Amino acid sequence: MKIGNYDLITIVVPIMGTNCYFLIKDKDAILIDAAGDGVELYNYVNNNNLNLNTILLTHGHFDHIEALDLFHEKFKSVPIYAFEGEKIVIEDMHNNLMDHRLKTETEKAITYVKDGSILNALDLQIELINTPGHTIGSSCYYVKELNILFSGDTLFCETYGRTDLPTSDTKAIVRSIANKLMKLNDEVEVFPGHGFRTSIGHERNNNEIMRDYVIEWAEKE
């Protein structure tokens, strides 16, 4: 799809049906999450003669990071970003649910940044919003200029990510969505880690699970 001067390409990677996104301007591209064995994603870059600029990680579960080894091998100079609190998920097999560790050189290539950090890529300012709950360091990426949010497994269409996994916290994810994401304007389009895209306005009005829990938990920090 076209968003202003940018193309947004969604590639759904089996087995978990993970949405990986390429945000593209001319031939420069950002990759949001790197799922599966990476072959389909890598082929897309090659077949379209893209210059990979940046990799952004929403969180550290295997179905969002498993292709990092391949991408770091092929694009060693491309920066990889994640929230600083997610290091204990990305580098721990119990927490990230992988059956193997990332290569040491891949782990060392990840730059961990703070909540609210602004990442500059493709002439855009991309804000990392830490939204703990699905994992302790889950994050979303907000591109104000394009009015879009990459929500990872924090916010889905009319629901939210699982909170029965290592480092998950149901109350934390409710607070993250209510106190951070719902402060964005209704027109912000949301591109989640699984399933269909939505908008902040749609979720504000239709996400019944969130609305029920928010009454009790949202402002209780």
* Domain range annotation of the chain: 2-217
Measured in whole angstroms, the distance separating CA 93 from the mean position of its chain's CA atoms is 19
First vs last C-alpha separation in the chain = 38
Residue 27 CB contacts under 8 Å (≥ 6 apart), including other chains? 48, 49, 50, 51
- Asked if residue 178 lies in contact with residue 218, where contact means CB atoms within 8 angstroms, the answer is yes
User: Which CATH entry fits the domain spanning 2-217: 3.30.2350.10, 3.40.710.10, 3.40.50.300, 3.60.15.10?
Assistant: 3.60.15.10
Residues 18 and 4: their CA atoms lie apart, in Å, by 25
pLDDT at residue 211, rounded to an integer: 66
pLDDT of 219: 53
Helix (H) or strand (E) holding 190: strand 189-192
Q: What pLDDT shows up at residue 208?
A: 67
CA 42, CA 74: separation in Å to the nearest integer?
A: 9
Q: Which two tokens stand for residue 168?
A: 């998950």
Would you give per-residue pLDDT tens digits along the chain (221 residues)?
999 999 999 999 998 999 999 999 999 999 999 999 999 999 999 999 999 999 999 999 999 999 999 999 999 999 999 999 999 999 999 999 998 999 999 999 999 999 999 999 999 999 999 999 999 999 999 999 999 999 999 999 999 999 999 999 998 998 999 889 999 999 999 999 999 999 999 999 898 666 666 555 555 55
